[in-house]
Structure 1
Amino acid sequence: MSDALTADAVHLGLDLGTQSARAVAVDGTGRLLAAASRPLTGHRDGPRHEQDPEQWWSALAAACREALAGIDPARVRGLAVDATSGTVLLADERGTPLTPGLMYDDGRARAYTARVNKAGAAVWEALGYRTMQPSWALPKLLWLLDDTDFPGARLLHQADLITWRLAGRQLPSDASHALKTGYHLVDDRWPDEELGALGVPPGLLPDVVRPGTVIGTVCADAATATSIPAGTPIVAGMTDGCAAQIGAGALTPGAWNSVLGTTLVLKGASPHLVRDPGGVVYCHRGPGSTWLPGGASSSGAGALAHRFPGADLEALTARAAATGSTAVAYPLTGAAGERFPFRAPDATPFVLGDPAGDAEEFHALLLGVACVERLCFDYLDHLGAPVDGPLTLTGGGARNRYWSQLRADVLGRTVALPEHAESATGMAVLAATASGATLEQAAAAMVRVREQLTPDPSRTARLAPVYLGFVDELTRRGRLDPSMAAHARRKAEQ
């Protein structure tokens, strides 16, 4: 593997988020050498959310130039790119965008989902997620084909535009970004018959390879624009959630990364494909023969920002911690709707107990997120996903140490807080595989743990009835299947 996992090697991680484009340079021991970002702007109009694809490239190129200033070009060994899941556009044969980028949460294609789910039912069932949602890429592709007339157009996922610009030619897409466009992850192919029935023209979709495949090298023009040395290997990346999972080192079977931001997202590793009759958990392909199951809740830290806008959250946390309150609130980030650990578009927030004042209400939301997180793990266990491996906590919520400890106590398991767990870092780890390291070797060498938190057994026991009361209330409201509720109770009694 040459010097890939030494301090001499530099690996680049490029990340396209919703609000910014970010570039990081990380050495082979996991030391962050440089990081830079540039803002991205979008346009929202009802269910529509668009961005200018040209801004993705200009912002990322500027971030790369800043991050690489002062780094010896001879040290750079490779790069990988992640982007938001389900974000797509149409481009011409030269890679010039023909449409805006339809973002990951763009819901304009709702009218197309029934047709998509009827035509592809057998494939979606085989892949374990059963149905596609309006924000997935395939329904949005059908909307684009009906709304535009560009003969010879090509579908690009968000990351595909960047790799095209980096190489100066179209490169294969990765199976992670292609998942929501309908790529058959088991058979490693596009489901041509089903896509043809939906009117998707032959030649519109890109070739696809597994994440971690070297797909090209940086061309001279891109080197001038980005300061990335010409000839640098380009490694097929993954979506931002999977990239963050790599950055947290959650790659062995049973390992999980819990990302607490505006919403709660769980990503894990499994030796087998996890199929979900409820359609709320779906799997990416992982390294080798592994699978990466995961789910995204509509609950999370966004509930705090909604209820306490502009508050000093550090001070509020200190006051909340002193209350000892066991009131619990269902922490939906919006007015209604849940996606995981159950699907309920009409779900609404509720509070169990009688929190007195802002501090207790704040604590009820902290505790509510912890209860949702435990229920997610119980649901995954109910599906047969391995859940007993190492657990890392990342995202903005993980910076609140009291909250992380509370989550460990509710879960009754040790949690690790990585030093630099972010999507761009995960892509730097993946980029290290271009030099011959396996992804597991690269993660072991480059992912650093800042702190571990162990649960307080007495507090875990005291909070168990609170969690079961939360489960009972969701069952009473018809949100949980009785068999799932019974499973959660059995787990609590073990």
Structure 2
Amino acid sequence: MSDALPADAVHLGLDLGTQSVRAVTVDGTGRLLGAASRPLTGRRDGVRHEQDPEQWWSALAAACRAALTGVDPRRVRDLAVDATSGTVLLADPAGVPLTPGLMYDDRRADAHTDRVNTLGAPVWDKLGYRAMQPSWALPKLLWLLHDRARPGGAAPPAGARLLHQADLITWRLAGHQVPADASHALKTGYDLVAERWPEAELDALGVPAGLLPDVVRPGTVLGTVCAAAAEATGIPAGTLITAGMTDGCAAQIGAGALTPGAWNSVLGTTLVFKGASPHLVRDPGGVVYCHRGPDGTWLPGGASGSGAGVLAARFPGARPADLDALTARAAATGSTAVVYPLVGSGGERFPFRAPEAVPFTLGELSGEAEEFHACLLGVALLERLCFDYLDHLGAPVTGPLTFTGGGARNPYWSQLRADVLGRPARLPEHAESAVGMAVLAATASGATLAEAAGAMVRLRGELRPDPARTARLLPVYLGFVDALARRGWLPPAVAAHARGRARP
């Protein structure tokens, strides 16, 4: 263990999710000492999704007090914060919120997106993602600056600040504004290659000078916890505040997927991929984009419109025990029918973009168990296509693979996924965003992120693929690729690459 990572030091990880705030305390060996969460509520109205920023702080303070119960305050060294990507608000010069928090999936800024992509095209092309989506932070900032000033809203006062969700928390913790991290700033247009705001493009868009925060790399020490924050949260005054990352990157760190070619596949409501690359991965299709890691490596990733949410849609009201029973029955069917596991009505986002995509079924389904198995298999096939697409882009994909998310708790499903992929998969013990932030926080004392992850990320197991089953399922995968290509959703070059990689 590095001298900068004493076993008895305590690191605090803070995660601002959509439905809750979570705080964990972790020692230098990765042992979880305490954990607590507090709920968050929001408001949804069509394409709008808002939360009260003051609730973020009150919920976080309560979660911290609970997670620190029984922990010797003299052992607490540092902390880091992650939050949802693209969630923003305006605040006054004292850090008091002027607006609700516009959440990561809020799409009210659709009218500003074409202008953002026209004026910012050279930068977005250079950064590899080519175009911003309406839910990204920069279009939402333009909505806050312009649409909100119309009747029913008020123009922001002089000195207003644009804050990412994590920025409000680090401001409160330090007692004054501190820089944002480059991970949360990505969707506001921060240039990760030049490591600066693209001033000419932002000026052309009418973003006032001084509105945006300074930005530093994740892992940079921002300051220390002030006395007022210590009283509110129970975090000892003087604890180092480390610049964090977005929730997806935080989960990747928690899984230890940090070496070039390593990937973390997060199976939740949708399937999210996060990996590590020595070079920037540029995607002509605009479905993969890269964060930049604390050590300068690149962290490509993509978020699908498909995933485990298909089970809730097709089996509404099913309890965990019901899903366990369905899994056992599904495993016994031997069925190779496939459900394309699209969730919701927004189309597909990764490994291809097809807003018009809709669910479909390949093969005949006889009964509930076969339908359930077809959903499990559909997710596994889509997961393999994600890897084929990443390889098509030139991203390294042959490093260690980890499975995390709620879907990884289903042993049969995880083994099926490993078999379809034909590669081993690791199962981390505590793969969650808050733990990832505790690992990142530990770098404040001088350890590298790789050293911190090596000491603190624990595994609970590893899955090995069954070669015979992989071979049996290969024709099923190729049929799935062909079905997507026939519908015009999967580009021909990507389909050809997937077929080529499937050859022995």
> Normalising by the residue count of structure 1, what TM-score does the alignment of the two structures yield?
0.99
- Give the deviation of 1:4 after TM superposition: 4.6
Comparing 148-157 and 435-444, the one that deviates more: 148-157
CA distance in 1, matches of 2:460, 2:2: 28
Contact 2:13–2:438 (CA<8 Å) still a contact in 1?
A: yes
Partner of 2:103: 103
Aligned pair partner of 1:455 in 460, 465, 479: 465
Taking only aligned residues, the RMSD between alpha carbons, in angstroms, comes to 0.9
CA distance in 1, matches of 2:87, 2:403: 26
Partner of 1:314: 324
Comparing 78-87 and 149-158, the one that deviates more: 149-158
SS at match of 1:62: helix
CA distance in 2, matches of 1:13, 1:335: 34
Aligned pair partner of 1:288 in 272, 275, 295: 295
Partner of 1:51: 51
Q: Which amino acid in 2 is paired with 1:209?
A: V
Runs of 4+ in 1 over 6 A off after TM superposition: none
1:445 aligns with 2:434: no
Partner of 1:297: 304
- Give the deviation of 1:436 after TM superposition: 1.4
Partner of 2:431: 421
CA distance in 2, matches of 1:4, 1:98: 41
Comparing 456-465 and 330-339, the one that deviates more: 330-339
SS at match of 1:461: helix
SS at match of 2:272: strand
Aligned pair partner of 1:278 in 281, 285, 301: 285
1:252 aligns with 2:259: yes
Contact 1:3–1:9 (CA<8 Å) still a contact in 2?
A: no
- Give the deviation of 1:288 after TM superposition: 1.8
- Give the deviation of 1:330 after TM superposition: 0.3
CA distance in 2, matches of 1:208, 1:348: 40
Partner of 2:184: 177
- Give the deviation of 1:287 after TM superposition: 2.8
1:143 aligns with 2:153: no
CA distance in 1, matches of 2:61, 2:336: 49
CA distance in 2, matches of 1:26, 1:372: 35
CA distance in 2, matches of 1:11, 1:437: 13
Partner of 1:266: 273
Partner of 2:236: 229
Structure 2 vs 1, CA of residues 466 and 342 (structure 1 numbering), >3 Å: closer, same or farther? same
After TM superposition, list the pairs within 5 Å mapping 1:144-159 onto structure 2. Answer: 144-146=144-146, 147-148=148-149, 149-151=155-157, 152-159=159-166
- Give the deviation of 1:490 after TM superposition: 1.0
Name structure 2 gaps, 5 residues minimum: 150-154
Per-residue Cα deviation, 1:382-440 (whole angstroms, up to 9, x for no partner): 00000000000000000001000000000000000000000000000000001111100
SS at match of 2:21: strand
SS at match of 1:118: helix
- Give the deviation of 1:5 after TM superposition: 2.9
CA distance in 2, matches of 1:222, 1:281: 38
Partner of 1:9: 9
1:399 aligns with 2:414: no
CA distance in 1, matches of 2:4, 2:108: 44
Q: Which amino acid in 1 is paired with 2:470?
A: T
- Give the deviation of 1:3 after TM superposition: 5.4
Partner of 2:208: 201
Partner of 1:213: 220
Partner of 1:365: 375
Partner of 2:392: 382
CA distance in 1, matches of 2:29, 2:299: 25
CA distance in 2, matches of 1:99, 1:417: 40
Contact 1:84–1:158 (CA<8 Å) still a contact in 2?
A: yes
Per-residue Cα deviation, 1:201-234 (whole angstroms, up to 9, x for no partner): 0000000000000011000000000111101000
Partner of 1:408: 418
Aligned pair partner of 1:166 in 173, 196, 200: 173
CA distance in 2, matches of 1:319, 1:258: 25
After TM superposition, list the pairs within 5 Å mapping 1:25-44 onto structure 2. Answer: 25-44=25-44
Aligned length: 494
SS at match of 1:129: coil
Per-residue Cα deviation, 1:61-94 (whole angstroms, up to 9, x for no partner): 0000011111000001100000000000000011
CA distance in 1, matches of 2:346, 2:170: 38
1:125 aligns with 2:132: no
SS at match of 2:11: strand
Contact 2:295–2:449 (CA<8 Å) still a contact in 1?
A: no
CA distance in 1, matches of 2:407, 2:369: 17
CA distance in 2, matches of 1:341, 1:477: 15
- Give the deviation of 1:336 after TM superposition: 4.6
Contact 1:300–1:332 (CA<8 Å) still a contact in 2?
A: yes
- Give the deviation of 1:479 after TM superposition: 1.0
Contact 2:86–2:184 (CA<8 Å) still a contact in 1?
A: yes
Contact 1:429–1:446 (CA<8 Å) still a contact in 2?
A: yes
CA distance in 2, matches of 1:218, 1:4: 20
Contact 2:440–2:452 (CA<8 Å) still a contact in 1?
A: yes
Contact 2:40–2:55 (CA<8 Å) still a contact in 1?
A: yes
Per-residue Cα deviation, 1:258-315 (whole angstroms, up to 9, x for no partner): 0000000000000000000000000000132310000000000000001001221111
Contact 1:85–1:240 (CA<8 Å) still a contact in 2?
A: yes
Q: Which amino acid in 1 is paired with 2:193?
A: V
Per-residue Cα deviation, 1:229-258 (whole angstroms, up to 9, x for no partner): 101000000000000000000000000000
Partner of 2:152: none
Q: Which amino acid in 2 is paired with 1:31?
A: R
Structure 2 vs 1, CA of residues 336 and 235 (structure 1 numbering), >3 Å: closer, same or farther? closer
Contact 2:128–2:286 (CA<8 Å) still a contact in 1?
A: yes
CA distance in 1, matches of 2:144, 2:490: 36
SS at match of 1:35: strand
Partner of 2:91: 91
CA distance in 2, matches of 1:340, 1:2: 39
Name structure 1 gaps, 5 residues minimum: none
Contact 1:129–1:275 (CA<8 Å) still a contact in 2?
A: yes
- Give the deviation of 1:2 after TM superposition: 7.3
In percent, how many aligned pairs have the same letter?
81
Contact 1:300–1:331 (CA<8 Å) still a contact in 2?
A: yes
Contact 2:42–2:49 (CA<8 Å) still a contact in 1?
A: yes
CA distance in 2, matches of 1:74, 1:257: 34
